[in-house]
Amino acid sequence: GIQVEQSPPDLILQEGANSTLRCNFSDSVNNLQWFHQNPWGQLINLFYIPSGTKQNGRLSATTVATERYSLLYISSSQTTDSGVYFCAPVMMNRDDKIIFGKGTRLHILP
Amino acid sequence: KAGVTQTPRYLIKTRGQQVTLSCSPISGHRSVSWYQQTPGQGLQFLFEYFSETQRNKGNFPGRFSGRQFSNSRSEMNVSTLELGDSALYLCASSGGDRAYTEAFFGQGTRLTVV
């Protein structure tokens, strides 16, 4: 079955809008990261957040490990926020491998 | 502090050839992992090396292999290339002795097999 599920798969927003991206995972986690993949393919670290809440500028993330989900919030979107956002947990009993979700493709319109 | 460096950035190979990709991790990091990204399959784990030993392996055929050197630099090799091997290959390094620590990715090598 699906181990990491991200929603929505695609999101189109106007510049200035806020958004919430969700990641559900099927097992307890040792580690969870959020990445932004830029147009050139590089994965940029956003958050390392196995539990709790963190904020970095316009971005914040919350992981509720007991309920097996994580949320990424983007406020006041800018066109440079466009790209694909990946949730990547390392789940217990999965041989310490990072398992990526399929990503949320975000397109911010000017 | 330099980030993760992958070389080359782009590569075009012919079916049946072999290819070697290189990854230099962040200084002090001992774990290097490799991932393949394709439009159809997304990001898939290939293998992980820690202190020159393969610690973990994904579900890829034996044509995909790797190694890690004493300076933690890693190489992956793909033999007898197939068209389906065309992909973005990403390398990640992390500093801890388990995969619980934060992973940092290189810019990737984009391989095209023709």
- Per residue in B39-94, pLDDT (tens digit) is 888 999 999 999 999 988 999 999 999 999 999 999 999 999 999 999 999 999 99
Identify whether the C-beta of residue A35 lies closer than 8 Å to the C-beta of residue A85.
yes
Q: Which helix (H) or strand (E) holds B109?
A: strand B109-113
DSSP readout, chain A? --SEEEE-SEEEEETT--EEEEEEESS-EEEEEEEEE-TTSPEEEEEE-SSEEEEETTEEEEEEGGGTEEEEEE-S--GGG-EEEEEEEEETTTTT-B-----EEEEEE-
CA geometry: angle B87, A21, A77, nearest 5 deg: 95
Mean pLDDT, rounded, for A59-70:
96
Chain A, chain B: beta-carbon pairs less than 8 Å apart: 58
Optimal mutation site among B105, B109, B111, interface A, most CBs of chain A within 10 A: B105
Do B55 and A99 lie within an 8 Å CB cutoff?
A: no
- Per residue in B95-109, pLDDT (tens digit) is 866 656 889 999 999
